[in-house]
Amino acid sequence: MADATKFFFFSGKGGVGKTSMASATAVFYAETGAKTLIVTTDPASNLADVFEQPIGHKVTPVNGVQNLWAMEIDSVKATAEYKDRALAPYRELFDDSIVAVMEEQLNSPCTEEMASFDKFVDFIDNPEFEVVVFDTAPTGHTIRLLELPVDWSRHIAESEQGSGQTCLGPVQVLQDSRAKYDRAIAILQDPNRTTFAFVVQPEATPIKETERSAGELARIGINSNLLIINGILPPEHCRIPFFQKRSQMQQEYLKVIAARLKLPAKKVYLLEEEIKGLDFLRHVGRRLWSDTAEQPGSLSVEQAGSLSTEPSGVPEVTKTINPNVQQLLVPQKGQTRSVFFAGKGGVGKTSVSCITAVWLAKQGVKTLLITTDPAAHIGEVLQAEVRSEPTAILGVANLWAAKIDPKQTAEAYKNNILDDARTRYSEEVITIMEEQLDSPCTEEMAVFNKFMDYVLRSDYEVMVFDTAPTGHTLRLLELPMDWSKQIELKSSTSVEGDLLNKQAMERFEQVIGIMRDPARATFGFVVYPENTPIMEAHRAVEELKTVGINTPLVVANLVLPGEFCINSFFQQRRRMQERHLSQLAAKFSGAAVLQLPVLDREIKGMEMLEKGGDILFAT
């Protein structure tokens, strides 16, 4: 069966509907009789929300669908499994003291990324299913995931020829992995085995990200071969001038997609409700894959089974604005503040971050806007060039912007370490360090180090962080805790690192202290009023509480303006949103809840950013 297994990868910008399209595809193939597995590699998985049942870190049957199983890769559990598997052969060969040294080398936050990736490769290398569907993390992290087999195979081969050491221990520990990664690369590069689908919405940012990402994949020999255009407004429901304007904008972008993304394309039109539950997944699956699929249009009440037909009495959007919201964003005199916006991919973190940064700058606050998302889009939203180091944004006093570019940051980080080491160590030691720093783990540590640099800066009054989607943001925010624990455990009487360990610990403690101090840091989650992004944000807020970080701000984005929802289609979507908006105060107790409505144009350029700030932060 392994040789016949078909693999589907769904990637794209956060929020374009990857999980929905992947889940619908898995349901469709399972119901054709194929033994099917859907696996999510997204650290903030939503599979359980879409299928409306618990799933978790085990292959779990999906209720109501024969031949379908699902799994959500849990990085913590994957790490424990990986370490046990890597060390098992050596426990029988060596005494406890040697195994303890090897285990210590695996006690690194780098191991977590490696373990999750290794689990992902398991499903490619030795599948037990006829169809395996991967619901991936948003694009920047997916590119990273798919580059890792190539990077690790190279790193293991180079280490074998050199010192025999990798950042995760002796190369012997990883030899079996190298063969597995090489087999995975061959499958990923085989278009007869692997379908790589980009999900895109007809807007500027998803199109640019897809175009760039397809090029990056092609450079490692993986060719995208399908495009799914999701979230298209049904023209028959867009005769209202407000929605007609947005529909016309989408139609123009559909022409851009056809011209620039020359791939076979499937279209999925917006439904009255969010896509979750088997009725909706079956419907979308038929649209995507059935030769006899119905023409695009709305899902009828009869098909959905659960849609309300009650007449709409839609009220105007009401904004719950904390009168003290300025205190959450503007620091006290003489202090600095870090403002973090997090949330599920596609909810509008970048738009809200840019709106907030522009609004603060207009208040006379010296502001730096930084993105930690590998697929950085703040330049497109600001319509300005954003570089790796802070650059003044022309036309806006008090505003600077920067992006953390993983590749550039890793190279600079590596060079700094080696330059410093050359003043104290022999060439033999330098050679070993160079080999270990060529590890794929270096990139994550470099980004984390750069992030800390920005948090600790004092030359700006406010630093607004546009973060990566939730799972990767939690990883970034928890790394200071993880690394400080590692240094505390390793700090003993070793000659090499006591001073360095002490300095690193002080730095980590500073960052942790800032993130936990409500006078110096504000965490805000952006959601749109649907179940999946709200549940993801709620889980993340609860997880941050466990490390002493509270969330005092929530922004509900893309709220449909009630005054324009005057036909049955948009009234139904507005009622759906209202159900979720009414739960926000209870789910995020104590947080200021702000609402940002859908506007008649995309939020990009200073005019729209200023307009967004006037709406979001109005008193």
User: Kindly report the CA angle at 140 between 481 and 60, in degrees rounded to 5?
Assistant: 75
Report the 10 Å Cβ neighbour count for 377: 24
- The position carrying tokens 């590596």 is 414
**CA 591 to CA 584: how far, in whole Å?**
9
Sheet with 521-527: list strands edge to edge. 391-392, 399-403, 367-371, 462-466, 337-342, 521-527, 553-559, 592-597
- Residue 132: predicted pLDDT: 93
Q: What is the pLDDT of residues 136-160, one digit of tens each?
A: 764 445 555 566 555 655 655 665 5
Q: Where are the domains of the chain?
A: 2-74+117-301, 325-616
- Residue 309: predicted pLDDT: 34
pLDDT at residue 587 is higher than 80 = yes
- Residue 191: predicted pLDDT: 87
pLDDT at residue 478 is higher than 90 = no
Considering only residues 420 and 321, tell me which one the structure prediction assigns the higher pLDDT. Answer: 420
pLDDT at residue 118 is higher than 60 = yes
- Residue 456: predicted pLDDT: 92
Q: E strand or H helix at 87, and its extent?
A: helix 75-91
**HEC-encoded secondary structure of 32-79:** CCCCEEEEECCCCCCHHHHHCCCCCCCCEECCCCCCEEEEECCHHHHH
Average pLDDT of span 174-185 = 68
- Residue 486: predicted pLDDT: 45
DSSP 276: -
**CA 312 to CA 460: how far, in whole Å?**
48
- Range name among 9-23, 73-87, 120-134 with the lowest pLDDT average: 73-87
Alpha helices by DSSP H, listed for 517-595, are: 531-545, 568-581, 584-587
pLDDT at residue 314 is higher than 80 = no
Of the pLDDT bands very low, low, confident and very high (cuts 50, 70, 90), residue 178 is low
- Residue 188: predicted pLDDT: 81
- Residue 315: predicted pLDDT: 35
- Range name among 208-222, 266-280, 560-574 with the lowest pLDDT average: 208-222
Of the pLDDT bands very low, low, confident and very high (cuts 50, 70, 90), residue 480 is low
pTM of this structure: 0.74
Q: How many residues does the chain have?
A: 619
CATH architecture observed for domain 2-74+117-301? 3-Layer(aba) Sandwich (3.40)
Average pLDDT of span 567-592 = 92
Of the pLDDT bands very low, low, confident and very high (cuts 50, 70, 90), residue 323 is low
Find out whether 331 and 425 touch, Cβ atoms under 8 Å: no
Average pLDDT of span 355-379 = 88
Top mean-pLDDT range of 122-131, 136-145, 397-406, 421-430: 397-406
Considering only residues 252 and 424, tell me which one the structure prediction assigns the higher pLDDT. Answer: 252
- Range name among 2-16, 104-118, 245-259, 367-381 with the lowest pLDDT average: 104-118
- Residue 497: predicted pLDDT: 45
Average pLDDT of span 97-121 = 67
Instruction: Tell me the backbone φ, ψ of residue 392, rounded to 5 degrees.
Output: -65, 140
- Residue 580: predicted pLDDT: 93
Of the pLDDT bands very low, low, confident and very high (cuts 50, 70, 90), residue 518 is very high
Residues of 530-562 as b/e, b for ≥16 C-beta within 10 angstroms? bbbbbbbbbebbeebeeeebebbbbbbbbbbbb
**CA 558 to CA 537: how far, in whole Å?**
16
Report the share of the chain in percent with pLDDT over 90.
36
**CA 369 to CA 358: how far, in whole Å?**
9
Average pLDDT of span 77-91 = 77
Residue closest to 336 by CA, chosen among 312, 366, 313: 366
Considering only residues 29 and 427, tell me which one the structure prediction assigns the higher pLDDT. Answer: 29
Identical fold at 2-74+117-301 and 325-616? yes
Report the 10 Å Cβ neighbour count for 295: 6
Mode of pairing for the β-strands spanning 60-61 and 399-403: unpaired
- Residue 359: predicted pLDDT: 95
Mean model confidence pLDDT for the chain:
79
Q: What is the pLDDT of residues 217-234, one digit of tens each?
A: 887 788 888 999 999 999
Average pLDDT of span 361-385 = 87
Report the share of the chain in percent with pLDDT over 70.
74
Q: What is the pLDDT of residues 536-565, one digit of tens each?
A: 889 888 888 888 889 999 999 999 999 999
**HEC-encoded secondary structure of 294-324:** CCCCCCCHHHHCCCCCCCCCCCCCCCCCCCC
- The position carrying tokens 């730096």 is 368
Residue 619: burial class (beta carbons within 10 Å; 0-12, 13-18, 19+): exposed
Pairs from 89-96 (Cβ < 8 Å, separation ≥ 24):
90/173
Alpha helices by DSSP H, listed for 491-559, are: 498-516, 531-545
Considering only residues 358 and 409, tell me which one the structure prediction assigns the higher pLDDT. Answer: 358
Considering only residues 128 and 597, tell me which one the structure prediction assigns the higher pLDDT. Answer: 597
- Residue 316: predicted pLDDT: 41
Considering only residues 575 and 491, tell me which one the structure prediction assigns the higher pLDDT. Answer: 575
- Residue 142: predicted pLDDT: 52
User: Kindly report the CA angle at 165 between 162 and 170, in degrees rounded to 5?
Assistant: 130
Average pLDDT of span 458-469 = 87
pLDDT at residue 487 is higher than 80 = no
Q: What is the pLDDT of residues 18-75, one digit of tens each?
A: 889 999 999 999 999 999 999 987 766 678 888 999 998 899 999 999 999 999 988 7
Question: Strand, helix or coil at 559?
Answer: strand
Considering only residues 463 and 303, tell me which one the structure prediction assigns the higher pLDDT. Answer: 463
**CA 474 to CA 379: how far, in whole Å?**
24
Residue closest to 156 by CA, chosen among 168, 174, 180: 174
Q: Please, what CATH class does the domain formed by 325-616 belong to?
A: alpha beta
**Tokens (6 digits) for 481:** 């805790």
Top mean-pLDDT range of 26-30, 162-166, 188-192, 414-418: 26-30
